[in-house]
Amino acid sequence: MVSILLCCGVESKDALIAELWEAGTTGIVEHEEELEAFFDSANTAETLLARFAAFHPCLRQHPERDYSEQFREYWRPLKIGRRFWLAPPWDTSATPENRLRIDYQPGMACGSGAHPATQLCMEALERCAGPGSAVLDVGAGSGILLIAAGLLGARLLAGCDTDADSVLLARQAVPRAHLWIGTVESARPASFDVVIANISAAAASEMLDELRRVARPGGRLILSGFQRGEFDSPGAPGRLDREGWLCLTLEA
């Protein structure tokens, strides 16, 4: 068993994860500023070093172990907020009472559920989305937030992402959602009760007027994907904070 250790920032991590799965990795472990992708074949890993040269790849040899089992041990079910139960597809444990189960593939695209920003968005959704809601996820990633909104009873699910691979994954995960490759500018004005943007602080700031444009009067904006001090709004009626990551709920 071999692995490739890749240096990458938050902004490039999601696209890199999707590319590694496409390249045939058997599992990915996320570190703070690194990804470690495992491969069964040393030859396969070696041929990928040039492909990922921009991320300063380091090849690691590992003693023979059951890494698939180790990978599964690493990804345990998670309780998120008051309602959600995130579980990898191999987990057979019973869903706790009054919890909504989401089966997810660890490491796939943006928002496997392990990141604090994603968890905070799900908690904010519990407060904002409900039966009959229309929800838009800007930067839909794997579609996990749309899955969560659907479980809460949202009648209309929509999402956009500029990454084609992410949109493909989200379409597979949420077949009933309206998803497109592109930006929020393609959405009709005043169409959504809840608009989510789990993106960077710079992108959230730049897109804020557009996010408000597509929200209905009295609707809510859920903004996350940034750390304390990067983006803030003192008047936000809802503010969640975990491990230095921030989620704001704003009135549209």
Q: Across residues 51-56, what is the average pLDDT?
A: 93
The mean pLDDT value for 131-135 works out to: 97
More confidently predicted of 16 and 68? 16
> Which of 35-44, 81-90, 185-194 ranks highest by mean pLDDT?
185-194
The second-level CATH assignment, the architecture, of 2-71 is 2-Layer Sandwich (3.30)
Q: Confidence band (pLDDT; 50, 70, 90) for 109?
A: very low
DSSP per-residue codes, the chain: -EEEEEE--HHHHHHHHHHHHHTT-SEEEE-SSEEEEEES-HHHHHHHTTTTGGG--EEEE--S--HHHHHHHHS--EEETTTEEEE-TT--SPPPTT-EEEE--TT-SS--S-SHHHHHHHHHHHHH--TT-EEEEES-TTSHHHHHHHHTT-SEEEEEES-HHHHHHHHHH-TTSEEEES-GGGSPTT-EEEEEEES-HHHHHHHHHHHHHHEEEEEEEEEEEEETTTS--TT-SEEEEETTEEEEEEE-
- 52: amino acid identity, one letter: F
- Cut 0.85: pTM above it: no
- Listed by start position, the domains of the chain span 2-71, 110-251
Domain 110-251 has CATH 3.90.1150.10: no
